[in-house]
Structure 1
Amino acid sequence: ATAPAKIGVVRSLVERHRGERILVIGQYLDQIDVLADALGAPKITGATPVDEREELYQAFREGTIELLVVSKVANFSIDLPEASVAIQVSGSFGSRQEEAQRLGRLLRPKESGHTASFYTLIARDTVDQDFAQNRQRFLAEQGYAYTILDADQIAA
């Protein structure tokens, strides 16, 4: 789930969606730290004071910040209607509920007119892939379509 190769893919996706509001979502704090540093983006974890979280969320809502790296604390009770891209780098194993919450965060209509893009980065031939297949089946059962791409198909 924390494969270092994911950093380059995240950079490419962020570049591809420049000008949109992007959430990079992860489970592991070390990975979140690395990604926030690599992207030069603010991060929100359980250790982030509540008032700082709210300032960052508000800046994201207003568009003064277009990229946030967040832990699972962003799964619940936040309203970010203009988020149009989520890049999930790691999650809670095969949690269908978490996948649905993260996807649902993006599906609201956007004032900007952007359509939602939800990416899940998976390391091939790992347990990460097994969990992802469980989540993909769930999304397909719910009527969502998805496309599987290799990292080299995403390069900016």
Structure 2
Amino acid sequence: MVRRLVQRHADDQVLVIGAYLDQLDQLGELLDAPVIQGSTRNRERERLFEAFRTGQIRTLVVSKVANVSIDLPEAGVAIQVSGTFGSRQEEAQRLGRVLRPKADGRGAHFYTVVSRDTIDQEYAAHRQRFLTEQGYVYTIVDADDIPDPA
């Protein structure tokens, strides 16, 4: 599903955001994208963030280290694959990361990938209620409704 979404937004700068390091490493391999996590040295983090800012890197996989204090204004798409349970603050930070105005005026997309009939579905509903109360609008889309570009 994440690969489909990244391909759908091939012309955008995409952040794939999650909490589970093994999952993020697998996604980095699948997407052929660098992964930034807590063990990534600061110099390497800054190099990758700068390459993303300038468009040299179109997709970046990040752990919770990118939740705060990282300036990535051109990120137009965020794909959240895992979060800290029902953390409303974390989701709001991640959403805010892509909603910043873009230099070229384009819009932003925020996706949360959730497996049906799991505890994650309950956590996602909790976060969704909070953001809906803040005035954000959600559209729930089934994976089958997003075509595989391949």
TM range (shorter): over 0.9
CA–CA distance in structure 2, aligned partners of residues 96 and 154 of structure 1: 26
1:114, distance to aligned residue in structure 2 (A): 2.1
TM-score, normalising length: structure 1: 0.93
Amino acid at match of 2:94: R
CA–CA distance in structure 1, aligned partners of residues 83 and 57 of structure 2: 24
Amino acid at match of 2:28: A
Asked if 1:119 is matched to 2:77, the reply is: no
Q: Secondary structure at the match of 1:56?
A: helix
Write out aligned runs for 1:40-79 (5 A): 40-79=32-71
Question: Structure 1 stretches (4+) deviating beyond 4 angstroms?
Answer: none
For residue 103 of structure 1, the aligned residue among 70, 95, 116 is: 95
For residue 17 of structure 1, the aligned residue among 9, 13, 20 is: 9
Asked if 1:91 is matched to 2:56, the reply is: no
**Quick check: 1:20–1:66 contact (8 Å CA) kept in 2?**
yes
- Residues 103-125 of structure 1 show CA distances to partners (whole Å, capped at 9, x for unaligned) of 01111110133211000000001
Amino acid at match of 1:76: V
1:139, distance to aligned residue in structure 2 (A): 0.8
TM-score, normalising length: structure 2: 0.97
Indicate the RMSD between aligned Cα atoms, in angstroms.
Answer: 0.7
CA–CA distance in structure 2, aligned partners of residues 112 and 45 of structure 1: 30
Q: Which residue of 2 aligns with 1:135?
A: 127
Identity of aligned residues (%): 66
Aligned residue pairs: how many? 148
